[in-house]
Structure 1
């Protein structure tokens, strides 16, 4: 229950962030080509999706493995 409350608190009270790497910021400040900052920020967000997906997949794989092990121990205890 404590972890749920902490997770809910962190999800509800987050601050929006508009960070850019130094290279992107320099490119936008010196560019006369008319690159929109929103497009650069969207690209950064798109690139950040993949590390989170990898962590989620590893977490799901660990969850499935532990669930199978728990079922095996329950079956062994029941027989």
Structure 2
């Protein structure tokens, strides 16, 4: 059997742990998995989400603040 070239790095979280980290219900991580919007690992019949995948999801939603430059009237 050929080994996969990609490996899940770091800790594997249950759906409940992922939901707790995202501060949502379990429905949201399950929807992310169903829509293939987040990487996951199947361990038998169980689904685990790599902690790094959650970090990437959170980082992809990061919105940087906008700094406004105010001109002074002369």
**Alignment TM-score, normalising by the size of structure 2:** 0.37
Q: Which has the higher helix share?
A: 1
Higher RCO (C-alpha under 8 Å, 6+ residues apart):
2
**Alignment TM-score, normalising by the size of structure 1:** 0.35
Larger radius of gyration: 1
Q: Which has the higher strand share?
A: 2
